[in-house]
Amino acid sequence: MADEILSAVSDLSISPTGTSTAIIDSIKVTETLREFAPPAAISTILADALAVMLIACAVLLLHRTASATMHSRFLRHIEYSFLVMILFRLGRVVVTGLKSLLAFQYLGLDPSKTLSSHDAAIVWVMLTNITNNWHAISMMVSFLASFWLFLAWWLLRRYPAEGIPRALYSTAVGVLGGLVALVAGIATTTGADTLFLLDFFDIAASVTVITLVGWELRKLEPKRGHPALSTIVFLFFMSWAILQVPIPYFRDKAGDAFFLLLMFASFGSMLMTALYTSIVLKDRPEYEA
């Protein structure tokens, strides 16, 4: 979206032959701002509020299952990953709210109003700053969520062992810290609009760890056999992983149905994980019926 806004206001001065260039540019910026007018913004905020509630429910289910079953440390790490995802949804609420306030300030309640060239330039600067900084923040949140899922995969891979080698954990923390520092460095030096160069790595990491966790869950407690249920769990994780790919495109769009689809895919993955593990994992002695 930042590129579209930049293109729209690339020449806000009046051309020698008239004012058509300024008018066209102002219309483009106005249309972008209008996407965050109160009706669309409210829909986005309510959808993200629903996502927070569903994620919180999934976290509670995973936490309860992990507390009552043996060899379930991996569930704690999946739980931590979902807690981090709440930060992403809350961030979307804040960003959408800021852009909605901007739309209300410059457009008011009149949907037919068009920004002047001067106002379009001001709006472009503010929208670009909000968009680029949210890009950097959301990428940091994504790396942190992938970090916890990576550790969950490692524990599943070594199930029923519950230890994480200190060298592995230290390396993972170092890589996470390096990525966060890299994102922050790029955002403060060359500008957050260049972060698209890291989008590929972010998406690849997310798709990889989600797929690996889903695959390892399939092999959990095979002797207690629920092949159909384990396959359903894996399919939910695969759909969740595939939906990671278009996130950079939809990240800054208000009122888009994509994030509702992503919400249900991720919530379905966690709900099926809680159901599956509550069946196949052995109860702790104090919880046995």
Q: Would you list the domain boundaries of the chain?
A: 18-287
pLDDT of residue 156: 93
Rg (CA), the chain: 23
Q: Confidence band (pLDDT; 50, 70, 90) for 194?
A: low
Q: What are the residues facing 69 on neighbouring strands?
A: 283
Instruction: For residues 111 and 267, give the distance between their C-alpha atoms in angstroms, rounded to a whole number.
Output: 36
Of 90, 54, 61, residue with least CA distance to 76: 61
Instruction: For residues 270 and 184, give the distance between their C-alpha atoms in angstroms, rounded to a whole number.
Output: 31
Q: Confidence band (pLDDT; 50, 70, 90) for 168?
A: very high
Instruction: For residues 30 and 27, give the distance between their C-alpha atoms in angstroms, rounded to a whole number.
Output: 5
Instruction: For residues 44 and 163, give the distance between their C-alpha atoms in angstroms, rounded to a whole number.
Output: 41
pLDDT of residue 24: 38
pLDDT of residue 242: 94
Instruction: For residues 283 and 271, give the distance between their C-alpha atoms in angstroms, rounded to a whole number.
Output: 19
Report residue 15: phi and psi, to 5°.
-75, 160
- Is the C-alpha dihedral spanning 33, 39, 42, 43 positive or negative? negative
Answer whether residue 121 shows pLDDT above 80: yes
pLDDT of residue 123: 86
pLDDT tens track for 74-83: 999 999 999 9
- Is the C-alpha dihedral spanning 39, 45, 48, 49 positive or negative? negative
Instruction: For residues 134 and 118, give the distance between their C-alpha atoms in angstroms, rounded to a whole number.
Output: 25
